[in-house]
Amino acid sequence: MQNSKDQLIRVMTLGLVFGALLFILAAEVNHLKSSQESEEDDATIYIQEDGVTAVVINESSADSESGIITPKDEKKSENIQKPINKDDSKIQELPINFDHINLLITNMSLDERNQALTSLDLFTKIVESEANNRSALMAAANNQLNQHPNVKFMMDRSSENMLLEFYLNLLIDRKLPAEFPTDEQLIDFYESNKETRFTSPLRARIWQIFLSKSDEATEEEILELQQKAEEIVLKIKTGRNDFSNLAVSQSQHDVSRSRGGYMGVMEIEDLLPEIKEYILQSQIGQVSDPIETDSGLHIIKRGTILPEEVLSFEQAEDQVRQILINQTGLQLKNAIFDQARADYPQEISEEIIEEWWLAIKAAEVTP
């Protein structure tokens, strides 16, 4: 419980920098939402034959109705469009007070807010943590650290990223119909992708001890490698040594070696032909003789073979819904960026980008 409270306090520290900005943006979001509730949805969402969601934003509403702030909307939306001017020196004049703590609590998640308002002890720790942070920030500002170009840039960048995130989430929420995805869309996507996304092929749990073979290995070196592999197999089969212990000490496959040779659950069709053949013919727990492939020698221990399994629609429904929401959200985000670049073009070219790259690269190598 104590660790949970300490973690919550650390999370609350982030509110010190962004609390006020969140409150302002939340107010603007609510205002913009309320002013747009009566507008018709201008995004058409459908599922293509391959099961991929597609989004079309109607051209007839490509200006203010699209949610992008166009020049003709600048006056009525100037509160959102104007960059937030910061007076960093004010940090030195803002000791902790009720308004600051109220904003901090207001912008917590529901669970965090409930915890803070249920426990006076936790609330006290949050306030004390904020007081410590505020004192340290005032000290940093008093030493002009907030005037350092890198610090100023990162502070501005954080604020811009938060504004962008609010803006994108607002538009995506507005353009995703409340009923999306419909039951029909869920079923269509599931049926179109059942074999590729919702079917688990034949798999097996596999352990191995791997001895690498160089491309330039001589016959003598290959013979020595085979003798070493046979000695390892003999130790395992006679019970003189455990497979996992020998894998840790002898295997040259770094990932599985640290796990006692365990390769995990692997799709049988993806295995090397020589290993696939052994897996299909062996018994559970059986250890192979050295199996030679182009890359080296493998000593394989077979675990459970897991049969092919197809998730039913009911089992996959939540996964399908999240896939469609994520997929459509990404397409909407790209459409928003395209519209924003059209309304507020950034004058860059490949030549300019290369020029910047060369200049920064040259500065990096200059003593």
Is 200-310 CATH 3.10.50.40?
A: yes
Q: Which long-range contacts (CB under 8 A, 24 or more apart) does 199-202 make?
A: 199/308, 199/309, 199/310, 199/311, 200/306, 200/308, 200/309, 200/310, 200/311, 201/267, 201/268, 201/269, 201/308, 202/267, 202/268, 202/269, 202/305, 202/306, 202/307, 202/308
pLDDT(290) > 70: yes
In the chain, where does the domain assigned CATH 3.10.50.40 lie? 200-310
Strand locations in 213-353 (E): 262-267, 291-292, 296-306, 309-310
Q: 69-115, pLDDT tens digit by residue?
A: 333 343 333 333 334 344 545 555 667 889 889 999 998 889 999 99
**Residue 134, pLDDT score:** 86
pLDDT level of residue 300 (50, 70, 90 thresholds): very high
List the single range of 51-55, 270-274, 333-337, 359-363 with lowest mean pLDDT. Answer: 51-55
Burial (CB < 10 A; 0-12, 13-18, 19+), residue 140, is middle
pLDDT level of residue 162 (50, 70, 90 thresholds): very high
Q: Using alpha carbons, list the distances in angstroms from residue 145 to 65, 132, 148, 247, 279.
A: 43, 18, 5, 53, 63
| pTM score, whole prediction | 0.53
Q: Which of 263, 326, 267 is nearest to 299 (CA)?
A: 263
DSSP state of 169: H
List the single range of 9-23, 48-62, 191-205 with lowest mean pLDDT. Answer: 9-23
The CB density around residue 38, as the number of other CB atoms within 10 Å, is 6
Element of type H or E holding 138? helix 120-142
**What is residue 259's three-state secondary structure?**
coil
Tokens of 212: 């690498």
Q: 211-238, pLDDT tens digit by residue?
A: 999 888 898 999 999 999 999 999 999 9
What mean pLDDT comes out for the span 247-257?
Answer: 95
Q: 107-158, pLDDT tens digit by residue?
A: 888 999 999 999 999 999 999 999 998 888 888 888 888 889 999 899 899 9
Strand locations in 242-355 (E): 262-267, 291-292, 296-306, 309-310
